[in-house]
Amino acid sequence: MLLLSSLLHFLFSLLATLMSIFGTLIRSLARSIDSRNASLASVDTDGRRPNTHALEKRLDNLWNVLSKDLITPEDLPAFESLKHLDALDDRQMLLEVVLTKMAQLSKYPISMKIQKVVIDLLYKDLPHPPVGFLSSVDITRTIAASSQPDALTPPTMPKHVHYAFRAADGSNYNPLVPGIGKVGSPYARSVPSTNLTPSTTLPDPELVFDTLLKRDKFEPHPDRISSLFFAFADLVIHSIFNTSHSDWGINNTSSYLDLSVLYGNSEAELDGVRANDGTGKLKPDCFADVRLLMMPPASCALLILLNRNHNYVAQKLFDINEFGGFKDPSTLLPEDKKIQDDEIFHRSRLVNCGYFMQIILGDYVGAILGLVRDGYDWRLDPLMEMRELDHSVSPRGEGNVVSVEFNLLYRWHATLSQGNVSWLESEIASAGLPEGVSATSIPGFRLAAANLAKKYGSGSPTEWTFAGLSRVDGKFKDTDLANIIQDATNDVAGAYGARGIPECMRAIEVLGMVQSRKWGTCSLNEFRKFMGLKPYADFKEWNPDEKVHEPAQALYGDIDRLELHVGLAAEQTKVPGNGAGLCPGYTISRAILSDAVCLVRGDRFLTTDFTPFNFTAWGWKDCQYDTEDGSYGGMLTKLLFRHLPDYYPTGSVLAHFPFTIPQKMFESISKNKNASVHNYRWPAQFEKQLGDGAKALPAVPKTPYTWKRIDSYDAVKAALTTEASSFTSNVSNRREATVEPLLQQRKRDSASLKTIQAKQAAVTEAIVAGEQWTEWFKKKTEWLIQNHSFKQIGSDKPEYVDIVKDVINLLPVHWICEEITGVPLKSDANPRGTMYEQETCKKFQDVARYIYVDSTPVDDFKFRDRSRKHARELIGYIEEGLESAESHFSSLGGDVLEWVRLSKKSDSAKFLKKLRSSIGNTSNTNLAINVFNATVPTAALFSKAVALVVDYFLDDANKAAKAEIVRIYQSNESDAAKKIMGYVREVLRLRPILAGVYRTAVKPVPAQNINLQDWVFVDIAKANSSLGQTPDYARQQGILTPYEDGLFTPKFFDTIVPVIVGTILSKEGLKRAAGESGKLTRFSEDWHGTRQEEYVNTAGLVTPWPDAMIAEY
């Protein structure tokens, strides 16, 4: 096997070397083959997603696989251990090797097949339902226990609901066994112990702590995981474990990842945190579980973000109103308000728990396996539906009951950072213990805990505070939360292992050993046998460190007597490597994967009821992690950007990788051939390592930042025109960022950017000048309507067309591709094209969204990368067209490009030739970028403007105005376009293309109380609405758009839009199609105090672009 592995390693290395040598030629050939195949494909995809660039994508996937050793000699022992599956030697790292291979092969079907086997294996590590409990259990009746020890309250359930929801007490997770895993149930016992060791012969717990567990010095985590990881782990652990003080066998929380730490474990606790005002929201910045107040502050800060996320989701569900039943709560009767409040609350809780679960799988498990560190966005998917080899359905949603063994497994006190230990010691010092009483003793600890509980937990949850913070209007300051979370991200956790638990945790550890013995818990070796792992033969095999195994042998005598709690805590730990990031003891490492799979796969609200119907389409989509967001499959990133945007600026490495300290991520990304440290913003201490042009993160302000605001009409108008020089926007920076990688690839320096900027106005003018385009747009509008229309069965009239998706959105796409750039658009007019209409339209929208639409930091990374990718492709086509215009010779790609244009006379070739001759003294690359900048970025905004106008005039209330536009258009009056533009401008005043824009002051503006470097929100919507809400189509005032470049150049926009609007509205009998199909799927939401319209597309995503609207004519 060694010879085979070496041979495979050699072959993979050889192939990778050959690809690096001939990579450019191979990719060029692949692109040519893809272009040829795409040109021969049918224009009509019949609803199938176009598979363009298929060969190039396969080559990229292969390149990524070959760039990392798929099979190495170090993997051999792992595969050799397959011979002993009944007692697997986990020191050979088989599971870690398999998981790494799945990540490396994630783009290939074999990865999914292996994953199904692994998930099935991990899920079946534990019995479902459990076969043993610590005491008798009644699984048929429903009780609801409080997280306050031993308090019971009767449940109340919403009636007549048509959606799935989580019960407060964790019941009804399995309809056939409704009590399984509910609050107040006994712990399960996974491993019945047959160990004959009497508990009275076991060593004294305090002696065990002093000889095996007590920290002698701090050891930083070997993979530099941050203490924020363990702050989040606190939320996971406290959500599923809450041992009753009066009966140690009872768990006073549910066995599900239901965020009970936030919502509570009973209807009474739920009412304590719910607003109950018809909005489905929680009271601000509160949570239900008082135990979290005695955890490190970062745990509470994260929980506050999850509270805010619930309220964000609730507001979004109300605004979108997918099922159409939500109304302003002030207009509802009390009973109806309660029904609405329950529905929004329960759906929002489902979504928020979905977030929690995805953070666990994306960030938490990603860190455990080292996937984030190694740059893999693949994740194990325990939720998936699958079948066994005999075609039986693999079980999901059966319910879950946590066990005593896993209660002991999650005692990770060795990982406390130095900062958290200092915090804990200061808390204990403030507990008011009598002189001479130490908190390291059991009586002293119990007294300290009781005093701290009274100190922090008095009053209602809305009055609780932590870390010495104070509330302002009931909420914590964003500054304080950001400081706590960022400090935890920069704070390295402690390493797992023997002699690592701080002295201040002494009493808790001793009580844990006492508790374990009273539970009659199995030994370490019994647990390993149960998990299918090889039992240890002796203490030295368990931990080779003589400072650990020698005292352990003296205390326990026989390795089979080593109790589970101690054995897990002092076991030899892993070292960082493939599949190993958390680096706990080997047994913990294996068991936590099984537990993670069981917790999510056994929860029906995360599996069988994890559906767009229960979550709503937006809610379901929003709690999926995004592999394009720069976080390698992370989900916590979204919460940090969304709820603390002023403290986590775009690209913040602290947001993208919060579970690893920045220094470690800098080292990891620097080694990753497919990533760059320059894609992120780093703390100030990294500036020297990053070099010139790097942007450091700003320090967290000591006081909350307040946006300055301009919203009066005159001030907004001035800020966008006469006083524009007083402000800067990020549009020019984003435009440059879009093309910068292309310039670097062409080995161009910053001088190229200056040349591009100098030529931009002339190129734009050459493209949009004159009225020669009016007839083209008129004919193309008519052609698109005719070409995309469909009819009713058995009738020629009326006809229907998606006037937005298939006409308005495609108009600038066709013009740019066919007349200007030469991009080979595939349509009935050019069937040999390679780029499908809708696919190309989405690319244009991505570019516009990145450059012009002020996206949240959550989406910035994704749209920047997409824009760069699209720009490289589109500019490549333009560049080839320019080269063809000045030469009779072309590249292989150029030959294919010409071939795909043969079916249609290439008007773009004439234009590019004329442009090339008129714009001298610049390279084809620079000129191609000028053409791209003048057309593509504004195309989607142009379509949005037209869509808003057409939608407005299809309303019955505006029939008279519509008729007047048609009359003007058909009159052929010399000033018809100008008159129609009066209507267009008034509509865009009432419904602006952009509700507002961000600016940064580069000089003071005293009249607006704006100082240097102030962040300013320019409220276009409010400024426009201040002129009145009644339409006046002769009005000369109104702000159309903050930008007048590209397709918004006045001479182009004012000439072309009237033609498009007139052509569409002139269709005889034009009206909306019946029902929702004839409406834009839009909603209005608050944005810096103004109302902004957004749209929900067919994929359930919120987008700034009108997506679809069917018209009848």
Rounded Cα gap, residues 730 and 732, in angstroms? 6
Q: How far apart are alpha carbons 1085 and 1063 in whole angstroms? A: 32
**Which of left, alpha, beta for 612 (phi over 0: left; psi -120 to 50: alpha)?**
alpha
317 closest CA partner among 1079, 853, 994, 1085:
1085
Distance separating alpha carbons of residues 99 and 381, to the nearest angstrom:
12
Q: Tokens standing for 1045?
A: 């470049």
Tell me if residue 410 is catalytic.
yes
Alpha-carbon span 950 to 713, nearest angstrom: 26
Beta strands in 468-519 (DSSP E): 471-472, 475-476
* Adjacent-strand bridge partners of 282: 274
Angle at the Cα of 625 (from 619 to 628), degrees rounded to 5? 125
The Cα 751–Cα 743 span in angstroms is 10
| Per-residue DSSP letter, 495 | P
**77/100 Cα distance (integer angstroms):** 15
Question: Other CB atoms closer than 10 Å to residue 272's CB: what's the count?
Answer: 18
Asked if residue 413 belongs to a known ligand binding site, the reply is yes
Whole-angstrom CA distances from 1029 to 529, 953, 979, 1020, 1025 are 75, 16, 20, 14, 6
* Residues linked to residue 1071 through DSSP beta bridges, in sequence order: 1112
Helix runs in 695-822, H state only: 713-720, 731-745, 750-768, 774-788, 811-814
Between CA 1075 and CA 435 the distance in angstroms is: 76
Please give the Cα distance from 620 to 489 (Å, whole number). Answer: 29
The distance from CA 46 to its chain's CA centroid, rounded to whole angstroms, is 31
Q: What burial class does residue 670 get, using C-beta atoms within 10 Å of its C-beta: 0-12 exposed, 13-18 middle, 19+ buried?
A: exposed
How many angstroms separate the first and last alpha carbons of the chain?
Answer: 72
Main-chain phi, psi angles of 294, to 5 degrees? -105, 15
Q: Select which of 410, 456, 836, 850 is catalytic.
A: 410
* Chain Cα centroid distance, residue 1073: 36
Token output for 1112: 């009848």
Structure tokens belonging to residue 317: 């569900």
Q: Which of 270, 269, 260 is nearest to 292 (CA)?
A: 260
User: Any residues with CB less than 8 A from the CB of 725 and at least 6 apart, and which?
Assistant: 1002, 1003
Q: Tell how strand 1015-1019 and strand 996-1001 pair up.
A: antiparallel
| Neighbouring residues of 1006: CB distance < 8 A, sequence distance ≥ 6 | none
Distance CA 147, CA 243 (A): 9
Instruction: Count CB atoms within 10 A of the CB of residue 913.
Output: 15
What are the distances in angstroms from CA 401 to CA 138, 349, 407?
A: 13, 21, 11
Distance CA 104, CA 573 (A): 25
- Asked whether 756 and 931 are in contact (CB, 8 A), the reply is no
Q: What is the DSSP string of 822-860?
A: ---EEBTTBTT-SEEHHHHHHHHHHHHHHHTS---HHHH
| Residues facing 825 on adjacent strands | 835
Q: What is the SS3 assignment for 789-824?
A: CEECCCCCCCEEEEHHHHHHCCHHHHHHHHHHHCCC
CA distance 954 to 1113: 12
Active site residues: 410
Q: State the binding site.
A: 413
